Structure 1
Amino acid sequence: MPDSEPRAAAPRVYLIAAHPDWSESRVNRLLLEAARQVPHVKVRDLYGAYPDYDIDASREQSLAQAADLLVLLHPIQWYAMPALMKLWCDEVLAYGWAYGPGGTALTGKDVWLVASTGGPEASYHPQGYNRYFFDAFLPPYEQTATLCGMRFLPPLLLHGAHRASHADIEAHVGVFQQRLASYPDWPELEDLGACPVVDVPTTDRPLPDPHTEA
């Protein structure tokens, strides 16, 4: 019998989850539990790992750099990510590491936003109380990915999480888990181009303080 073709290594996924109170979560808690059942997914509960907000940036950089796909899992709070996930971005996605001269550690990776909103989809409309379609709140995520040389994949969203039925939540969790397990074999990825190359001139950064120790 001829030797079989060598199997490609499973893609490495680093899922970064943030919820200030998991006991109050109807959706994200179940998504987190589902992710932990997928073999090649490394899960980080930010509020569990860093309750004092003292993020180990070096450790997080190692985990992010080792992954093929970064997943951001969180509820939308005031039209953005929770505070600790924002701090993760501030401290981990450093100049000279994730972007700027020499900042190529994440180049070529994918980013997937998995988020829930309290308001229903109809509220994200020019005639709704949120006044904009939800896509209007995505540019900070997209541009962060682009600046770091990563592809921003189509998000997985669940609107109206406060009133979603158990059946709808269960179906959503099933889709999420299936997508995690099947990455990168998603049909829509074939139509996504490579991430554009973004140059950040050194002149756009402050000069180093000569009185600061190296």
Structure 2
Amino acid sequence: MLTVGADAVVVERRLVAGELACPGCAGVLARWGHARARVIRVGSGRVSVRPRRAVCRGCRATHVLLPVGVLLRRADGVDVVGAAIVAKAAGLGARPVAVLVDRPLGTVRGWLRRFGCRVEAVRGWFTRLLCAVAADPVLPEPAGSVWADAVAAIGAAAVAVTARFAVTRVTVWQVVCAVSAGRLLAPGWPAGSINTSSSWAALM
């Protein structure tokens, strides 16, 4: 799975031009049909997406090209999930967070439980990302809780990414979606090294 830009026309053009690389072997990706259509809840509305599939010309692995802002196996956009995480970091409980983002309590509890199980690992991962991409990284000051520390690290890393790669018109949480390849709440993430060469296709 690879996170790409939200504009399907641009994604198609980049595929034809051979500009998208396989996350496994860095080979050139080519068109290979579509994944099933999905409805994603964004803010107070819904959007339908039908992600492109691609096949690597080198290793022959296939990948779903998930638009930035869409999380793996989640029905809600990353900005909605991010708003819930920020609210929790500010001290709100699951019930008021659910009211704030206008989502079912059980859904929000699931997001917060999953994020809470990895909150320290996420803080460390985004701190390393900040150090990897910033010319002169300034680490965030302690913010009062492990949740707030994680959100501060996420924000600082997102600023560093957008500055280094001259990215505009993206939200902090879209950057998070891109650098995590849509796996912010997926099992097993974060793990492994930080790849600073292939995570930016969704933001360009």
TM-score (norm 2): 0.24
The structure with more helix, counted as a fraction of residues: 2
Whichever of the two has the greater Rg, that structure is 1
TM-score (norm 1): 0.23
